[in-house]
Structure 1
Amino acid sequence: MDKEQYLQGLVRKLETSSPLPFEEREQLLRLPLTLKRFEGGQDIVSEGERTKQCCLVSEGLVCRYKIVGDGQRQILSLHLPGDIPDIHSLLVEQMDHNLGTLTPATVGFIPHEAVKSLTRSYYRIAEAFWRETLVEASIYREWMVGIGRRSAPSRIAHLFCEFITKMTAIGLSDGVTCELPLTQSEIADALGLSTVHMNKKLREIRQAGLVRVRSSRLTILDWNGLCELAEFDPDYLHLRRSSKI
């Protein structure tokens, strides 16, 4: 796959919220991109680091995370192909969390100056990146509500609903099944649960006939039932109507 095809993933992701004019799409496809391959479990950018480039997730699954005093990890967000999870580094120079891979991944690095120049020249691109940061903030709020107030089964169901909805929006799912390359331990780290508790509650969701999780693949067996358990309303993702399940 050439660099332009990876940048098309960026355009596709930005357009899940709002369409871009032809000229802006073409300008995004001309961004300089340096590709690097990572194995699963590697840091792309570490907490405290200062960078001069943004990271475009081109293949694989990436997460933001923090390590607390006793060595436990809290996953803060999940990022799919087309995401630039550190777009804030354009203005916030020092990373206050880690950005790492959960699976083998290809990451494209785009110089900050190239992105800044583009946003100065094309206000719709600047708006698109600003919108992405606002959507990320909306997702953070939903995750905070989940960790703070939802039961463990509801948290798990909500993560499944969100993940397949986002995968569908970027063309990586048919809305029924998708790759879910997360271990149960990683899901527990994202939801603030112990692995033992996570395993028990996931088994309950399976036994209720809501989902099937097998060989790193998620299949939704009862979408309405899963949404009811999760209290899932996709409006917080701010997707265009054609991108929703």
Structure 2
Amino acid sequence: MSQGPISLRDKLVETGLSPEIADALDAMPQRRVQLDPRRPFREPGTARDEVIFVSSGLVSKYKTDAGGRRQIVALRFPGEGILPREGQAAYGIQAIVKSEALVGKAADFDPLIEKYPELARYFWRLIQRNESIGYEWLINCGRRDSTARVAHLLAETVTRYGIDPAKEPLANPFTQQQIADITGQTSVNVNRVFADLERQGLIKRTGREIHFMDWNEMLRVASFQPSYLD
């Protein structure tokens, strides 16, 4: 997690795109933007005629209800992105931690999709993966108890960051309120869950670092099956 910004071109090749097409996408006009976690990068209801690639940090999609209460509905880790859509988007975009993103225009992105069918298939697979993650989050908020919800989020975060929990801790990127906004709880209850996970001997916290003391039991408590992330 301490690594520098991820190369768009290298990430595309690493995840299965041909070097030729990765070069074409990397050459698309784009600007490098710093995202401040203290304020939204994009508000709900604004146009999404852009493609966003997260090169460092961690970025969220969020929605608010009529009372202004926030629910974080998706996360984008380094190497992941947000595709253009027609019209206004119902979700906002905000960094979880200080982040960097590459932002390009849909007008430059769409011709590449039309030119390279392989690129369209590549992004279609990513859409299907994000759909699977969304279903898992729905189950997490709707059916799992408070402890399992937080444990599942931690397990998913470790997996998506590519951390080996047997060798290194998770530098927790979330505030307790952000975890509450993801798992549909209050921050007070999230604090109780962390204390309970420590009492059970599943984690140990040192500052913002979370050390996993019994990873297999953590996965069992979370009902975590990583296949939905494939």
Provide the TM-score with structure 2 as the length reference.
Answer: 0.90
Residue 181 of structure 1, CA deviation: 1.2
CA distance in 2, matches of 1:5, 1:154: 31
CA distance in 2, matches of 1:195, 1:141: 23
CA distance in 1, matches of 2:175, 2:69: 16
Distance of aligned partners of 1:150 and 1:221 in 2 relative to their CA distance in 1, 3 Å threshold: same
What is aligned with 1:80?
77
What is aligned with 1:64?
61
What is aligned with 1:8?
9
1:174 aligns with 2:164: yes
Distance of aligned partners of 1:39 and 1:192 in 2 relative to their CA distance in 1, 3 Å threshold: same
Cα RMSD over matched residues? 1.9
CA distance in 1, matches of 2:210, 2:105: 35
Q: Deviations over 1:187-231 (max 9, x none)?
A: 011000011111111111122121233333232221110110011
What is the total number of aligned residue pairs between the two structures? 224
CA distance in 2, matches of 1:68, 1:76: 12
CA distance in 2, matches of 1:198, 1:50: 34
Residue type at the aligned position of 2:116:
Y
Q: Which secondary structure state, in structure 1, belongs to the residue aligned with residue 123 of structure 2?
A: helix
Identity of aligned residues (%): 27
Matched-pair contact (CA < 8 Å) for 2:58–2:97 = yes
What is aligned with 1:197?
189
Residue 41 of structure 1, CA deviation: 2.4
What is aligned with 1:212?
204
Residue 10 of structure 1, CA deviation: 4.5
1:163 aligns with 2:157: yes
Q: Which secondary structure state, in structure 2, belongs to the residue aligned with residue 93 of structure 1?
A: coil
1:44 aligns with 2:41: yes
Q: Deviations over 1:38-62 (max 9, x none)?
A: 2212212211111331121122111
CA distance in 2, matches of 1:27, 1:143: 34
CA distance in 2, matches of 1:84, 1:47: 17
Q: Which secondary structure state, in structure 2, belongs to the residue aligned with residue 74 of structure 1?
A: strand
Distance of aligned partners of 1:67 and 1:37 in 2 relative to their CA distance in 1, 3 Å threshold: same
Matched-pair contact (CA < 8 Å) for 2:6–2:56 = no
1:54 aligns with 2:51: yes
CA distance in 1, matches of 2:142, 2:174: 22
1:152 to 135, 141, 146: 146
CA distance in 1, matches of 2:76, 2:196: 27
1:143 to 130, 137, 141: 137
CA distance in 2, matches of 1:224, 1:66: 33
Distance of aligned partners of 1:39 and 1:130 in 2 relative to their CA distance in 1, 3 Å threshold: same
Distance of aligned partners of 1:29 and 1:70 in 2 relative to their CA distance in 1, 3 Å threshold: same
1:127 to 116, 121, 135: 121
Matched-pair contact (CA < 8 Å) for 1:63–1:77 = yes
Matched-pair contact (CA < 8 Å) for 1:182–1:216 = no
- Which piece of structure 1 moves more, 22-31 or 115-124? 22-31
CA distance in 1, matches of 2:62, 2:10: 23
CA distance in 1, matches of 2:39, 2:145: 31
Distance of aligned partners of 1:8 and 1:67 in 2 relative to their CA distance in 1, 3 Å threshold: same
After TM superposition, the runs of 4+ consecutive aligned structure 1 residues lying more than 6 A away are none
Q: Which secondary structure state, in structure 2, belongs to the residue aligned with residue 36 of structure 1?
A: strand
Residue 149 of structure 1, CA deviation: 0.5
